Amino acid sequence: MGIIGGALFTLLTLMVGAALTFFLERTLTPAVGAAQSLKLSKDLQLAHADRWMYPAGPVSALFGVTVAAAVLPFGPSLIGADLGIGAFYFIVVVDFVVLGVALGGWGAGTRDAVEGFYRITAQLVSYVVPLGLAYVGALMMAASLSTTQIVQAQRDVWFIVLQPLGFILYLVTGLMQAYRAPFYEPFSEHLGGGMLSVIGDWKALALRIAMAGLLFVVSAMGAVLYLGGWLGPWLPPPVWMLLKTFALMALMLWLGRRFQPLSTAQMLSLAWRILIPTGLLNVLIVGGLILAGVGPQ
């Protein structure tokens, strides 16, 4: 697909994915944290909103998920843009989403929203290294950063079979990245919803799409990394990809609801004391497997 085709495909992916995610979440889980529905009609006139940063937040978040959806492969050549560095690019552009919610938090200027900004940044600090380590196992076996190559490398056996520890790590860090239970502290009732309680109008719509889209792209990337992407016997590849994405999303949401919501301090502690050593152990194990000849050649 050329540039225009790729761009349109990316937008289609995002819209379909975000819409399906929104409805799936609403039926499966109670709406807390980042999944809560926003009042689109009411836009509070905030007395101390930063007039540039506050609207920039949801725009940046929506931008982040849209360009992230460009590297999700739905078939052997059905991808928005097959970048040679697809997986790394994905991690980087999802940072734009974090930037977006952070700007929205600060920009709103209310006490709760600014506190949300602090906790969002702390959550970024906590999830980013374990997330990288969760990717690294799959990248080592695939010997490439390109998402289509990663899927092709799972032709014989999916990586979830070879790297279960990495998969569990991806579940946890994916939830942390997507601000869903049990990691939704910056948007929780402790902070009165943070920025979500004051945002309205087009900003709320953009943010809601971005939050739904974020869960979708994180789950889709998990399906690419660990569940073999579009590979599968009878159904067409895009259907497999969507099935795997939503299965992984349901698993993440279900598992997340089993646990008490964590405070930001607990998230930091969890990430730096448990998840990073787990990730390093995973890298060690995967390295051993590769040396032993297991996995794609």
Q: Which residues bind another protein (CB under 8 A)?
A: 47-53, 83-85, 88-89, 91-92, 95-96, 98-99, 102-103, 106, 109, 111-112, 114-115, 117-118, 121-122, 124-125, 128, 145, 189-192, 261, 263-266, 269
Residue 84 CB, nearest distance to another protein (Å)? Answer: 6
Q: Which is nearer to another protein, 186 or 222 (CB)?
A: 186
Q: What distance in Å separates the CA atoms of residue 112 and residue 45, rounded to the nearest whole number? A: 16
Question: What separation in angstroms does the CA of 103 have from each of 20, 178, 202?
Answer: 27, 16, 16
- Within 10 A of 260 (CB to CB), how many other CB atoms are there? 8
- Within 10 A of 155 (CB to CB), how many other CB atoms are there? 10
Q: Which is nearer to another protein, 52 or 234 (CB)?
A: 52
Q: Which is nearer to another protein, 49 or 175 (CB)?
A: 49
Q: What distance in Å separates the CA atoms of residue 119 and residue 32, rounded to the nearest whole number? A: 17
Residue 31 CB, nearest distance to another protein (Å)? Answer: 19
Alpha helices in the chain (DSSP H): 3-28, 53-68, 86-108, 111-142, 147-152, 159-162, 164-178, 201-226, 237-257, 264-270, 276-291
Residue 40 CB, nearest distance to another protein (Å)? Answer: 23
Q: Which is nearer to another protein, 9 or 117 (CB)?
A: 117
Taken as a whole, the chain contains a residue count of 297
Q: Which is nearer to another protein, 141 or 227 (CB)?
A: 141
Cis omega (within 30 of 0) on the bond before 182? yes
Q: Which is nearer to another protein, 100 or 222 (CB)?
A: 100
Q: What distance in Å separates the CA atoms of residue 171 and residue 222, rounded to the nearest whole number? A: 8
Q: Which is nearer to another protein, 10 or 110 (CB)?
A: 110
Q: Which is nearer to another protein, 100 or 237 (CB)?
A: 100
Q: What distance in Å separates the CA atoms of residue 213 and residue 234, rounded to the nearest whole number? A: 28
Which token pair is 81? 């843009």
Backbone angles phi, psi at 168, to 5 degrees: -60, -40
Q: CB-side exposure of 208: number of CA atoms within 13 Å?
A: 22
Residue 290 CB, nearest distance to another protein (Å)? Answer: 14
Residue 194 CB, nearest distance to another protein (Å)? Answer: 10
Residue 24 CB, nearest distance to another protein (Å)? Answer: 28
Residue 73: partners with Cβ closer than 8 Å, 6 or more residues away: 79, 82, 147, 148, 151, 224, 229, 230, 241
Residue 85 CB, nearest distance to another protein (Å)? Answer: 6
Residue 102 CB, nearest distance to another protein (Å)? Answer: 6
